[in-house]
Amino acid sequence: MILVNKLEDLYSLLRFLKVEPWGNWPWWNKLIQKPFEEGDQRGLKLVQSILKPIMLRRTKCSTDRYGKPILVLPPADVQVIYCELSEAEKDFYEALFKRSKV
């Protein structure tokens, strides 16, 4: 499950899954949304406790019941290829770079 934009994204998924009472907006808003917006960590802690029993998380280090990795990946092959930008590409890059500075 991925939260892309807002905490409400998670609410809509819990509502779809019918995870009660968290699929009910008044409950969600009072106990999670408002505390989270006010910087109260209890809202986030509650979200974590809601997700723990319903969300399966795997990492590249996860193992099966026999201790073997569930996923074996080949070593990363990193290649850096340098290239010259055209004048138009340089101008575009510079303009984008200037706009993205905070």
Which positions ≥6 away from 73 have C-beta within 8 Å? 60
pLDDT recorded at residue 87: 97
Confidence bin at 79 (pLDDT 50/70/90) = very high
Per-residue pLDDT, averaged over 47-71, amounts to 87
Q: What are the residue ranges spanned by the domains of the chain? A: 7-54
| Residue 86 in this model has a pLDDT that exceeds 70 | yes
| Residue 83 in this model has a pLDDT that exceeds 70 | yes
Per-residue pLDDT, averaged over 13-39, amounts to 89
Q: Are 14 and 46 in contact (CB under 8 A)?
A: no
Say which residue, 60 or 16, is predicted with more confidence.
16
Which positions ≥6 away from 68 have C-beta within 8 Å? none
